[in-house]
Amino acid sequence: MGNEGGNEMKKFKIAIVTLLVLSGLFVFNGCNRDMVDTYYTYDYDYAYVFKPDGSIFVEGKVQQWRDYEDGEQIQVKIDGKTYLVSSYNCILVDT
User: Which has more pLDDT, 36 or 22?
Assistant: 22
pLDDT digits (tens, 9 = 90+) for 34-45: 445 555 567 899
Q: What residues does each domain of the chain span?
A: 1-30, 32-95
Question: In this structure, which amino acid lies at residue 35?
Answer: M
What's the pLDDT score for residue 93?
A: 94
Nearest to 60 by CA among 44, 75, 79: 79
Residue 35: the pLDDT is 47
Predicted TM-score (pTM) of this structure = 0.57
Read off the DSSP letter of residue 56: E
Contact by Cβ (8 Å): 83, 58: yes
Could you say which DSSP state residue 88 is in? G
Least-confidence region, from 11-15, 27-31, 57-61: 27-31
CA 80 to chain centre: 15
Summarised one tens digit per residue, pLDDT across range 46-81 is 999 999 899 999 999 999 999 887 788 999 999 999
Residues with Cβ within 8 Å of residue 85, at least 6 apart in sequence: 49, 73, 74, 75, 76
pLDDT confidence bin for 23, thresholds 50/70/90: low
